Amino acid sequence: MKGYTNKTQIAAYLGITISASDDQIEDWIEQTERIIDNYTNRNFIADTEASTRKYDGDGSHELLIDDCVELTKIEMGDPIMAKDELDSDDYHTYPLNDTPKNRVYYDGIFIDNHENIDVTAKWGYSVACPADITLAATIITGLVVEVSEDTGSETDSESIGSYSISYRKTKDSESKFRQAISILNSYRKISI
């Protein structure tokens, strides 16, 4: 579990005492986190340890990278041989004054080749989960909890990308679901 929401937040949001086991709630939260990450193409809580990802150079000064909160090293060279580390004074991460960083400008050029650039960073959108993503995770998981707590109500099913969620069919629950999707849409990263 990443920590986008928790049982206490869900119970407070719903205004109920949740009877489902802690293991079941954790499973639902984990599934919700996976749905959110896959739908938005983002990871909202960055890694605490830096790791390396490979990129292709294209002969330009600019390199598009995955979201990160801290870039620690860039190496470039032959994909099979040892790479040379770039001097951190020779490149800049963007956007300036904001996270996540997702673009690097290099004073030289990123040599055109496959897998010839290694970027070491703490990958993810932010250090702490954005408050509105926590709300979306709480809403989505809360809708699942409501179904489990009240088996006598009619349910409805909605799709989020390739995932499906069932919840109690009421105007209020449909409105909550639409609110959560609206939040997620504002963070959605479209990959080309």
CA distances to 3, 8, 32, 127, 140 from 131, in Å: 12, 15, 15, 12, 14
CA distances to 23, 58, 72, 143 from 88, in Å: 45, 20, 9, 47
| Helices within 5-130 (DSSP H only) | 7-14, 22-40
Token pair 């629950």 is found at 173
Q: What is the pLDDT of residue 81?
A: 85
Residues 114-146 pLDDT 10s: 999 999 999 999 999 999 999 999 999 999 988
What global pTM score does this model have?
Answer: 0.82
Instruction: Give the number of C-alpha atoms closer than 13 A to the C-alpha of residue 99, restricted to the C-beta side.
Output: 19
Residues 55-101 pLDDT 10s: 999 999 999 999 999 999 999 998 888 899 999 999 999 999 999 99
d(CA 119, CA 54): 6
